[in-house]
Structure 1
């Protein structure tokens, strides 16, 4: 029996589908908007306000995997009582943004009880050494503690505010995580010493090369204010490349260094979404000096005609400057010839023996053996053939072969 829905009987299938799509769209939008998530909790309004005015919310929303450790209005009052600059407040709050996903379940299943996690403050490049990391410790009785690297416990986990598994987790912690470095006055972006930041974070060899080329260093410095992304080869990679680098002319050294800079600020999500060719500081009209960005699974690669490098880490990601480490030196095709190995020569194809035709003045049938050289005696060639025949076929077959040749030659003259 067929059931026909009547008017007023309930929502149709189409209505249900539309409702589900709206809910999914709303959930997806909130997953990437930390301020909308915190809007639901008035007791976090001060924390949420400063995420907005410092533009830290934009950096958080650009990330795909992140944990925000929010504090309530009372805890924020303790921070504001220190009368810090807006840049220092941004650094302190960035210390509360962990570059990994920690939901409630994961917090209580930390391997070996403690894990060291990088924060967004570490990614700014303002943190020296590992001071931008936070220890997360699973304690007895279900407590989870948070402490800046090298310091005592500053805060405890309170509760989950919202979590989207493996995307974003917003949790409440009891107090502000104290960090003297984060609270210290910060220089304006144009005052950032680019080479010092690179030297302090595993790219000293590249930084030293940049210092030795003042024109290249100035090119990088002049582009920071308008937006700059640097792909910095790690020390081991650049040291292994030094023999090639020293063989370049001064102009080519400058071009190679500038090839590692892009005149725009790019977050990692930007890089992943902007696959394709990318111009560099070395690009100049006909001199393309570009490379191709490709995603391979979770890896992001930078590909030239000569080499393919992989992004291995983030040193700085704070508008207007981003610095990423790569595992190889980018080599532009404009400076390095691509040598292709020659294709292997084709195997010689032996011609099939031609059948002898009857007629006068015809030469004997050709054999499979190579032709005799001009200096070789025909009699010696015949003797060599006879020896080979004896070795290959034995005495009886040799005699049969001689008779066959004699009969064939005889037939030409009949």
Structure 2
């Protein structure tokens, strides 16, 4: 009687031991995005202090990590080096408003995970976190083989190094800051104001009364008058001499 009770018990235990590994294997693995530390990735690679500061100042560091937990598409960050920021014109970043700095950082983030090989087949332009409904603020990718270039319309640079290339986050080094055309594009020169038509005032003829040079007609009159007076004086002198000669004879 006792042996009859033991056999089912052993059988049951043996079945449980066989089922336990299968149950553990079916348990879902924890999401890798929960342990992602974007600052740690950049710190480990070095030469990204300016980018880290901008990510924190614009509060986009927290935003990106939060989206990784809720976004099933993942994300891709293009990380400019410290030298890339130093090579910008003086004041290029400091002259931006707080809102423009946020847009600049969002322009370096694609709301989808892309491997390097994906960039060879994407449809340009690729949307970024800064892209609006009108489709602006996009990036263009070209390349062949293992070489991929990214262009913003203002600058173009190769993607040299993958700091992380594992879903849900890819981080790629770029040696130039991706300056969006919407912020740093050449502005059309303002149209010059149309010149006003100049009004010409006809010059008044100069007259002797205004103290200017006398007209030719006036000069001629003066010459003729003086000549007439000289002739008359000569005749009077001549007549007087003739009379004096008659009286003395």
TM-score, normalised via structure 1 length: 0.35
Closer, same or farther: CA 270–314 of 1 in aligned 2, 3 Å: same
Residue in 2 that maps onto 1:263: 111
Find the aligned partners of 1:263 and 1:223 in 2 and give their Cα distance: 9
In the alignment, does 2:181 pair up with 1:333?
yes
Find the aligned partners of 2:44 and 2:85 in 1 and give their Cα distance: 15
In the alignment, does 2:54 pair up with 1:209?
yes
Instruction: Please state how far the C-alpha of 1:308 moved relative to its aligned partner.
Output: 0.7
Q: Which has the higher contact order (CA 8 A, sep 6+)?
A: 2
Residue in 1 that maps onto 2:158: 310
Instruction: Please state how far the C-alpha of 1:221 moved relative to its aligned partner.
Output: 1.7
Find the aligned partners of 1:205 and 1:323 in 2 and give their Cα distance: 16
Instruction: Please state how far the C-alpha of 1:219 moved relative to its aligned partner.
Output: 3.0
Residue in 2 that maps onto 1:111: none
Paired residues for 1:125-274 under 5 Å: 188-202=32-46, 203-214=48-59, 216-225=60-69, 226=71, 227-241=74-88, 243-274=91-122
Find the aligned partners of 2:104 and 2:125 in 1 and give their Cα distance: 17
Q: More strand by proportion, 1 or 2?
A: 1
SS at match of 1:278: coil
RMSD: 2.6
* Structure 2: runs of 5 or more not aligned: 1-24, 190-249
Find the aligned partners of 2:132 and 2:122 in 1 and give their Cα distance: 21
SS at match of 1:253: helix
**Contact conserved, 1:219 with 1:281, CA < 8 A, in 2?**
no
**Contact conserved, 1:206 with 1:232, CA < 8 A, in 2?**
yes
Instruction: Please state how far the C-alpha of 1:286 moved relative to its aligned partner.
Output: 3.4
Paired residues, what number? 158
**Contact conserved, 2:120 with 2:144, CA < 8 A, in 1?**
no
Residue in 2 that maps onto 1:280: 128
SS at match of 2:132: coil
Q: More helix by proportion, 1 or 2?
A: 2
Instruction: Please state how far the C-alpha of 1:240 moved relative to its aligned partner.
Output: 2.5
**Contact conserved, 2:127 with 2:135, CA < 8 A, in 1?**
no
SS at match of 1:200: helix
SS at match of 2:163: strand
**Contact conserved, 2:163 with 2:172, CA < 8 A, in 1?**
yes
Instruction: Please state how far the C-alpha of 1:274 moved relative to its aligned partner.
Output: 1.6
Q: Deviations over 1:29-75 (max 9, x none)?
A: xxxxxxxxxxxxxxxxxxxxxxxx9xxxxxxxxxxxxxxxxxxxxxx
Q: Deviations over 1:300-333 (max 9, x none)?
A: 1111221112101000011111101011000111
**Contact conserved, 1:199 with 1:205, CA < 8 A, in 2?**
no
SS at match of 2:63: helix
Find the aligned partners of 2:117 and 2:100 in 1 and give their Cα distance: 32
**Contact conserved, 2:78 with 2:171, CA < 8 A, in 1?**
yes
* Structure 1: runs of 5 or more not aligned: 1-52, 54-85, 88-185, 342-414
Q: Deviations over 1:101-158 (max 9, x none)?
A: xxxxxxxxxxxxxxxxxxxxxxxxxxxxxxxxxxxxxxxxxxxxxxxxxxxxxxxxxx
